[in-house]
Amino acid sequence: MPLMPKRTKFRKFQRGNRGGNAQRGTDVSFGDYGLQSLGRAWMSNRQIEACRISINRYLKRKGKVWIRIFPHRSVTSRPPETRMGKGKGAVDRWVAVIKPGTVIFEVAGVPEAAAKEALRLASNKLGFRTRFIERNKLS
């Protein structure tokens, strides 16, 4: 079952503005290590699922993984070689809007080296730059 909202107020969105940096969701809140975005993109539900699978396969289901984003936004598309007019296309896929600074995944309960490698494998599935970050220890 793909990641998508159960229901939305409106089926179709306008493209909107992806400018600026993330205002919230920029810190490691749940786990010990995280994967933070350095670029901006629309991350599809299929990319999120591919990253989740690669992390879980590498960690062999040890530790815990948090997905900090959700694909709330619908993207429409028209069939190929269709003439202009006749309205907006049908919903094609669901995406999460990623801005620089957004924490995408978090991992806990595994050594740092394992978390770093698992998140590196996940970042290879993405079309934008990311970095590995740690939770700020207050001590």
Domains of the chain: residue spans and CATH: 33-77+91-134 (3.90.1170.10)
The predicted structure's pLDDT at residue 60: 92
Tens digits of residue pLDDT in 83-131: 999 999 999 999 999 999 999 999 999 999 999 999 999 999 999 999 9
pTM above 0.95, yes or no: no
| DSSP class of 77 | E
What confidence score (pLDDT) does residue 80 get?
92
Strand runs labelled E in 9-70 = 33-37, 41-44, 64-67
pLDDT tens-digit readout, 60-75: 989 999 999 999 999 9
